[in-house]
A and B are shown apart, each in its own frame.
Chain A
């Protein structure tokens, strides 16, 4: 079947998005699979459509599209934008291959969970945010030749992003500022300087699998965006790193205060020259110096009835000939000896 060519501007009359999309649906129903669309800012081109026959695929060649080109696009769809496209390229992409040869707008590949998004220039803020990966399908891929805006890859849950950092010498950060906030899954490969990353991620060197992935994917990306001459430069791995979420336990910033006290605080304590304090912590109902009160025995009053000795819950009282002694290392200062003594020979005094 012939290529379906649609011009959306005729005699200064612009076709509305609804008219354009309905034309496309009709043509697809008629069996068309290839489209060349001279758009005029119409949105959602190439999204949420599938070829009439299951085994067929759709191809859209578009100029001057509006927002959300390839939004909710499906398997078996390829979209090629000559030049740039505004915000939301491949939003919720579930399987299409979307090529934008120029720059992309904000939130490119936002929520993409399948397919590929290739951008031959820069993308704007919040790009790659909320990308996901359903393990029953291939992970989404998002390739950008140059850089992203700030807040990109926020809340990313899965998938692979490759930001090549080409032509970015004047930028402080290839990913803008505060990217990867809330990222919990997936990986972002990035070449060049990155500043202001979220605390919940780490940036580490590539391993062999990472390099293999980039080696295998780079030629196709560069071919699609028509920059094959850059292959050698971009596959020099010296400038590449990858960003992955930190494991949960490393996200916990809390460090024990104990360590700080040990390493930084005054060696003998802040009050070391003012009070006697070796740092020991007294439990409740402990012996020795931890006691609030201690028993004192008066020989003159004692009738040696042994009631104190028998009732002491700690077995702290010893009889030595006719003398009774309360052992501080056993006594908790409960006062039972004083309570049971018929002659008040034991008295409790403040320790």
Chain B
């Protein structure tokens, strides 16, 4: 037997440790069969045969389950093995003293990449320190969340001030003298940009079905942003495209098919979202590792099976002014100035400058400003970006809103906030608080994955979206994993979650006495944290 080298990777270096109870194991093989990471294996071990002194060197072979010790095939703690074990013979515990990430860099001379979310929640969440403290009791009528009617709608598109509206009177009727910027009233939650490729075809289809169903059966005008990984031509040519916000990011993936489908589109899309940056890894471009570039992804994106890295910025855009000129004008023109064109940037200390500039755009063609905070998830990123770059969403959203308020221009470019919403369990509460702070709506991707059965956590479980080995079939691209995902059930669960969120939003709107969205109603909020109170300009309470 080779000596155990101290500089090699050992079981105790890994982030998760397998706890195996041999006495309970019936050697059914299910645990090893389901492990998409190939992190555990059946193995033959030697056991002492007897305690008798004369037979002390006699051994026998036994079959056990062991953990692989490997930089590639290592346990991410997803727990599928424990889920299938009929006897509870196997479980995982987190290794608090792991040195995997050190070993990875020391051996590979490469930066470590992962998917999912940041694991450095050292700051705590601002939103959890805010409560809805202004309850209408005798001051103004409170409402009944279950039974009264509420109008959960928000504008998507450029809103012009009354004095900028060009109306005239003709034959006793009011007519528009010039075409107004396109604007749609939509539900304040947007299914947020996860591309075909980043998520499996089944996951993407389930989101599209849920979107269509919520619109057409439940009357909830929710919109889904496609992400930038192409869109099936079928969808583009169907009536459902009107619920879809088409994304263009720096990779421009999939736009060939979109353009080809344009002449046959019977409906306008819900909007266009130009992705400049994303909250999970601001300043970095898209990253789709080759393992996920399945054949259909190659086809729809027009690329070979290779690591697909989008540039960190849109090539050819060097300033805010130029972005307005080129990107916004072209996108508006492509859809005949009938479709709102919005922009998504990562929250950053510079976001307000961008927002201010766009507010002053003389063409009035910026239809929405999406701010993505650092707690957002991603399909794949360098860990260094995921853990160490970015800006919390809450104060930046507030900054943008107040910057507009100080110019008397709030609401002209609707603000949408996202990034880590629902992280501590209540998506509706997070959404409501951000709306009170000035958001017109919110967007989420990670919640949708959790609803679909994602086992990842903000404390480091799984987070292997980048590998294509997603055990739930959500971020996978291999047939045998993708088909673990039940499209019907996921679509149903997404619908149910939105219906539940709808009730919960009303449960917060009602006591505040609002039957319409309380955009900017920061008087409804209190905080027990003096710093948060000062920074967000909301009431301090203790």
Contact = CB atoms under 8 A, between A and B. Distances in A.
Contacts of B400: none
B484 A264 contact: no
Given A257-B495, A258-B492, A270-B235, A281 B486 contact: yes
B63 A336 contact: yes
Interface stretch (B132-140, B203-211, B344-352): B203-211
B519 interface: no
A266 B27 CA distance: 43
B507 interface: no
A256 B484 CA distance: 21
A328 interface: no
B20 interface: no
A33 to B, nearest CB: 40
Contacts of A209: none
Given A154-B147, A255-B217, A336 B42 contact: yes
Contacts of A335: 29, 32-33, 41-42
A253 B218 contact: yes
Contacts of B29: 285, 313-314, 332, 334-336
A224 B208 CA distance: 62
B492 A311 contact: no
B232 A271 contact: yes
Interface string A320-340: 000000000000111110111
Interface stretch (A24-32, A95-103, A287-295): A287-295
B62 to A, nearest CB: 10
Interface stretch (B90-98, B305-313, B475-483): B475-483
Contact of B483 (A155, A258, A277): A277
Given A181-B147, A284-B84, A332-B30, A254 B296 contact: no
A253 B218 CA distance: 8
Contacts of A274: 201, 232, 296, 299-300
A257 B209 contact: yes
B44 interface: yes
A9 interface: no
Contact of B484 (A272, A282, A334, A338): A282
Nearest to A270: B205
A105 to B, nearest CB: 18
Interface in A227-272: 253-258, 260-261, 264-266, 269-272
A261 to B, nearest CB: 6
A261 B486 contact: no
Contacts of A273: 232, 234
B216 interface: yes
B12 interface: no
A289 B479 CA distance: 8
A270 B499 contact: no
Interface residues of B, number: 62
A270 B208 contact: yes
A200 interface: yes
B508 interface: no
Nearest to B202: A277
B256 interface: no
A261 B202 CA distance: 13
Most buried by A among B29, B32, B146: B29
B83 to A, nearest CB: 7
A351 interface: yes
Interface in A294-348: 311, 313-314, 332-336, 338-340
A265 B209 contact: yes
- Chain B, interface SS category: helix
B1 interface: no
Interface in B1-48: 26-36, 38, 41-44
Interface string A180-195: 0110000000000000
Nearest to A278: B483
Given A181-B148, A260-B209, A311-B27, A293 B38 contact: yes
Contacts of A178: 148-149
B238 interface: yes
B391 to A, nearest CB: 35
Interface in A138-175: 154-155
Interface string B229-253: 0001011001000000000000000
Contact of A275 (B38, B43, B201, B209): B201
A207 interface: no
B190 interface: no
Interface in A107-132: none
A275 B148 contact: no
Interface string B280-301: 0000000000000011100110
Contacts of B144: 181-182
Interface in B493-530: 495-496, 499
A270 B244 CA distance: 14
B435 interface: no
Interface in B138-197: 144, 146-149
B465 interface: no
A292 B34 CA distance: 7
Contacts of B486: 281
A284 B31 CA distance: 9
Contact of A284 (B30, B147, B217, B238): B30
Given A264-B216, A271-B205, A280 B483 contact: yes
Contacts of A351: 480
A182 B26 CA distance: 56
A206 interface: no
Nearest to B64: A339
A339 B41 contact: yes
Contacts of A271: 201, 204-205, 232, 296
B212 interface: yes
A255 B36 CA distance: 35
B34 A285 contact: yes
8 contacts: A253-B218, A260-B209, A261-B487, A270-B204, A271-B204, A289-B480, A293-B38, A334-B31
Interface of A: 154-155, 178, 181-182, 198, 200, 253-258, 260-261, 264-266, 269-277, 279-285, 289-293, 311, 313-314, 332-336, 338-340, 351
Q: Lowest 4 CB-CB distances: which A-B pairs, in order?
A: A334-B29, A339-B42, A285-B30, A274-B296
